[in-house]
Amino acid sequence: MEPARLARELDEFLASSPHACVIEEGEILFDFSVARYSISGEHGKCLLHLWSPERNMVRRIVDIEHKAQQLRLAVQRLGKGKPTWLDVVSSRERRAPTVQRQARLAYQRWLQRVLERSFPEWGVQDITSSADLEHSLSSVYCRGLLRRGHSRICFLGVNDSELQASIDGALTFALLWLDFCRRRESERGVVECLRVFVPRGRSAVVHARMHWLDRQAARFELYEFDERAEELFHIDISDQGNIATRLVRCADNAKACQRFAASIARVRAAVPECETVVLSSSELAFRLHGLEFARAQVATSESFTLSEQIVFGSGAHETVLSPESEPLFLELMQRVRRERGPDGDRRSPLWRMQPERWLESQ
């Protein structure tokens, strides 16, 4: 497997599937909406490096296979004789039904454990993630009751491996669950509250919708659930401010360009018509017709000293320029010049990526 071929295949696949996921042994390891990857060729081996805020991974790629809306990468793992498969699927919904079921059952166990720890005075009962078609309750959502004497709190949660659309729709199913629990528990207790649990950092739509619920009908509470840390974070649904402000230091463009003069000269030798955009005093981007294909940045070297480096790639692809990766860098530069232009191949991912920036660059 040649590094250049793997880079092309992944670039083309991710251009049409920006929310693709990497699955290994049935588990979603990376989501390319937040994850990044780099490709290197060392000692005649093609290595794929994947990383995200949660984890990182390196695999040796020996072959690649195309399937419907899926790339299958044959990987050689240390200590294993036969290659295993790393699946790159176009979306989370491309998972096998058994994999989805396993993820939902695991989430059910995690949520029950966290509820018992966070609300020790309440007993967890009737927790399930099975579908109930008669009452329009989906298997996507885990639901149950918290009980204390005659008081009841119904809850509904959705795990981090589900589509954002499923997370955004959690409130609809939570209200159906609240209505069902109130009718079922009418003679045994009072269902006074509805708690909704969504993944960490993905609650914006549910938050906005819950703000407008009738607080006289029930008490509504929203929590973000960090599955890796098994922690709950209460979200105030009354807080509906829509302005997020931040103050960014204004970088000195002249000083930044002077600092990265060597990197600018190296990239412009390959792509003379590129433009430079100063992102900060320690980072500079290279773009062609709005497409960012490389960055120069200050990073910590192996000797723990600050050094200048070039990172190249488009989209989720980020590879550090080194003597080993220079052939891949030059190949990408040729493709950028050939395909990112008015006469380029409109089927190329480099032509289709970042159309808004292309308009802005005119």
Give me the chain's average pLDDT, please.
87
Q: 249 and 280 in contact (C-beta within 8 Å)? A: yes
**Beta-bridge partners for 40:** 47
**How many CB atoms lie under 10 A from the CB of residue 106?**
14
In angstroms, how far is CA 235 from the centroid of its own chain? 22
Weakly modelled stretches of the chain, pLDDT under 50 = none
Residue 3: count other Cβ atoms within 10 Å of its Cβ.
23
pLDDT at 302: 61
Measured CA to CA in angstroms, residue 202 lies from 86, 170, 193, 206, 356 at distances of 27, 12, 22, 9, 25
Predicted confidence at residue 243, as pLDDT, reads: 66
Q: Which amino acid is at 182?
A: R
pLDDT of 242: 65
Q: Which residue has the tokens 């692809």?
A: 317
Residue 277 token pair: 């955009």
Residue-level pLDDT at 289: 92
